[in-house]
Chain A
């Protein structure tokens, strides 16, 4: 990286099933204004805007970035759209960070959103393809067979998924922006929820949320605001084809490669010991143990043991998803950026009740599509 990049402002909307009080422009503007306020800047101080969301088909608004330019103060400024399915919030932040690190811009506003109440993602992800069997049933129908394969491969006991479902929802109780606030959540409630995509139950899946996330990124000589910046210590993207013979769909190569690259840049050799917390894209409970292995927090086959030990709980040695994660809020396009943003909030000590004490280095992670897109960054309180 030529120039150092810092997160100097973060903003998110409250994440809810339906934001009927705002349109899409209103939603993204709300997050952007909060990020600007955090950085003590205005739209006039921004050089360029980078925006991302999940496929346009979800809301049925094509190329929405064009009509959102006004709401984001981007008229007459460079604006770029990023597309990488569910990982897009992470990829969008990385594109913005590259505009800083490459020296092209000094302050970039990056925004990601989804308005699922204006959309039908389940339908959009299940449209019969020409000449194919009409079996697809949303993201859960795609990922559940891979979860079953993980359970078989690792020998993990059934209750692990329920443990993650409870842990992340309890964390969400400490996050005022989170969509789900399930006061009474416990193992029994998860176990008694309806089986949607056997082996996945309703409460082991993410909700459908409206929401937006925004960050202001700046070069080292353009840092502003009252909170200390979160410095980008490493950033990486990787992808792989969705279908090829011999593909490991439980532990994809692209995810392992992406993690190795970001750790190398950040000087991390043992992620469990070297990081203070991680915000990882876990839309279905079992993806915590699966990604613990994929991201090198433990040897292959032992992710479930780490979850079971309580290591990933808020009071564990390596908290995962202190914010409540995707399991508690899923504005799809924004979900990846929220992971990146929450990691930044943690190292800036601004996470409030879900703050991990003394967090100085954190991982933000997003994945998307059929586990074929990966985006990660490591942020820290020290300037690298």
Chain B
């Protein structure tokens, strides 16, 4: 095989809902959206509820704390990898949200991570904030007691 590197630049148009999410990140906060039918809060919202098929118009400010629902410890090197291995890739469910997203966990040895562990976002310095998830450096344990399994079972 012959590697022939190519380069492609593109303009990304996130749409109304994701723009609100990204602008929230630039201000150091999480903004989700609520479905008017099922009442579930999506983050990041794509602008419509995948279950009910209706626009999610209402913005919901979420805290930057939540729990790890499940996770794995990545120990595989690959081309273009941005984070030093091993690292903890977790599904983070923010308080008040009804869907988790993938987040990096740091500040705890990989062997000590738990399902249900309480975490909080660690943001970059204020002058480094931007409309990107790179504004969140990682999530780190808060030290609070773990959430009971029954409280997050439905998010697995």
Q: Is the CB of B78 within 8 A of A126?
A: yes
Chain B residues near A117 (CB, 8 Å)?
A: 1
Q: Is the CB of A197 within 8 A of B75?
A: yes
Residues 37-87 (chain B) with a chain A CB within 8 angstroms: 38, 40-42, 49-51, 69-76, 78-83, 86-87
A145 to chain B, nearest CB (A): 4
Given contacts A131-B14, A244-B50, A245-B40, contact A141 B72 (CB under 8 A): yes
Partner of A120, one of B35, B79, B99: B79
A79 to chain B, nearest CB (A): 27
The distance in angstroms between the C-alpha atoms of A249 and B89, with both chains bound, is 17
Q: Is the CB of A135 within 8 A of B83?
A: yes
Given contacts A117-B1, A137-B89, contact A123 B78 (CB under 8 A): yes
Q: Is the CB of B156 within 8 A of A132?
A: no
Partner of A137, one of B76, B132, B154: B76
Q: Is the CB of A197 within 8 A of B74?
A: yes
Chain A residues near B115 (CB, 8 Å)?
A: 148-149, 152
Residues 93-111 (chain B) with a chain A CB within 8 angstroms: 98-99, 102-104, 110
Residues 186-218 (chain A) with a chain B CB within 8 angstroms: 194-200
A140 to chain B, nearest CB (A): 7
A240 closest partner in B (C-beta): B50
The distance in angstroms between the C-alpha atoms of A146 and B155, with both chains bound, is 11
The distance in angstroms between the C-alpha atoms of A198 and B69, with both chains bound, is 15
- Add 12 more A-B contacts to A133-B103, A152-B115, A198-B72 (CB < 8 A): A126-B81, A133-B136, A135-B104, A138-B78, A149-B115, A197-B73, A197-B76, A198-B73, A241-B50, A245-B99, A246-B51, A248-B156
Residues of A that sit less than 8 Å from B by CB: 117-118, 120, 122-123, 126-128, 130-138, 140-141, 144-146, 148-149, 152-153, 194-200, 241, 243-246, 248-250
* Chain A to chain B contacts (Cβ below 8 Å), 18 pairs: A118-B1, A126-B78, A126-B81, A131-B18, A133-B133, A135-B83, A135-B103, A145-B89, A145-B90, A146-B70, A146-B156, A149-B115, A197-B72, A198-B73, A241-B50, A243-B50, A245-B99, A248-B156
The distance in angstroms between the C-alpha atoms of A194 and B85, with both chains bound, is 14
A121 closest partner in B (C-beta): B78
The distance in angstroms between the C-alpha atoms of A249 and B49, with both chains bound, is 18
The distance in angstroms between the C-alpha atoms of A243 and B43, with both chains bound, is 11
Q: Is the CB of A152 within 8 A of B149?
A: yes
Is B36 an interface residue, CB under 8 A from the partner? no
Given contacts A123-B79, A141-B76, A197-B74, contact A244 B89 (CB under 8 A): no
The distance in angstroms between the C-alpha atoms of A284 and B156, with both chains bound, is 18
Q: Is the CB of B50 within 8 A of A145?
A: no
Given contacts A133-B136, A243-B50, contact A148 B70 (CB under 8 A): yes
Given contacts A134-B82, A196-B75, contact A246 B154 (CB under 8 A): yes
Q: Is the CB of A198 within 8 A of B75?
A: yes
Q: Is the CB of B99 within 8 A of A244?
A: yes
The distance in angstroms between the C-alpha atoms of A65 and B68, with both chains bound, is 43
Chain B residues near A198 (CB, 8 Å)?
A: 72-73, 75, 86, 110
Chain B residues near A135 (CB, 8 Å)?
A: 74, 83, 87, 89, 102-104
Given contacts A122-B78, A131-B133, A243-B50, contact A195 B102 (CB under 8 A): no
